[in-house]
Structure 1
Amino acid sequence: MTSEIVICPHCGGANRVARERLGDGPQCGKCHKGLFTGHPLAVNAAAFAAHVGRGTLPVLVDFWAPWCGPCRAMAPAYEQAAAALEPFVRVVKVDTEAEQALGAQYAIRSIPTLMLMQGGREIKRQAGAMDARRIIEWARG
């Protein structure tokens, strides 16, 4: 039985969950809230580091900014993609205005930029807005 380390979106606690049980609505052992929300998580640098560094699920990251028109236009599609990809992919959003160091660390040159990460490493990235179907296909492919 394979298990995953899932970081709680509420308290940041690390939870070991059997992969076969991810779809059963697992709850955090620390705060007892749901480990998955069906929505993208807005994360700061510390939460990003926890999900990417300590968690074992693949992490889909949307690097965006509030002033970016294409970012705002893609937000509903990203929301739909989160509902489809969870619980097997953690879906997060990084506001590059608030977390400029993360944008610099990952050399984000244009927004929106999607990045898929696993095991603390970048697997692939794609710049530009996409619809929900393309986001899901890209993340799963």
Structure 2
Amino acid sequence: MSEMIHLVCPSCHGVNRIPAARLGDSPNCGKCRSSLTDSSPVEVSAADFNKFVQRSDMPLLVDFWAPWCGPCKMMAPMFEAAAAQLAPSVRLLKVNTEENQQLGAQLGIRSIPTLALFKGGREVARQPGAMESAQIVAWTRQNLAR
């Protein structure tokens, strides 16, 4: 029998249980029918962030940013390009630290943009500063291989 994994829907945030072998088949959410492996980064609130980290078996790459931050704005298209290369094995999330200040403080985010990689419900790597898409992909893959 195939290993089952949990994925949080990027649209309705419902938790779905699917066979790991079906991850590459573009599975849809059982609740809202949206794609579970859409490559677009998902903007999340603090509550949504916690649900993704606690309930998703997929690694999560999180961009902590703010709308007033110039380097954050410059990195946004690079983050989207990286998402297309990392899907469907990594879900990319965006957390606006201006709207979610308590989450940023709780996680010790001291500068933006900051990327944080979560696997198995815990942070496994962190990188402050803007990066190009190729650097984001390489950094993510390198830290997931550890």
**Interval of TM-score (by shorter of Structure 1 and Structure 2):** over 0.9
Question: In the alignment, what sits opposite 1:126?
Answer: 127
1:1-141 matched pairs, under 5 angstroms? 1-141=2-142
RMSD: 0.9
Aligned partner of 1:119: which letter?
A: G
- Aligned sequence identity (%): 54
Q: Given the two structures, how large is their TM-score scaled by the length of structure 2?
A: 0.93
What's the offset of the Cα at 1:67? 0.4
Aligned-partner Cα distance in 2 for 1:134–1:115:
14
Unpaired runs of 5+ in structure 1? none
What's the offset of the Cα at 1:33? 1.4
Q: Secondary structure at the match of 1:11?
A: coil
The farther-off stretch of 29-38 and 50-59 is: 29-38
Q: Secondary structure at the match of 2:105?
A: helix
Q: Given the two structures, how large is their TM-score scaled by the length of structure 1?
A: 0.96
Unpaired runs of 5+ in structure 2? none
What's the offset of the Cα at 1:18? 1.7
Aligned-partner Cα distance in 1 for 2:21–2:110:
38
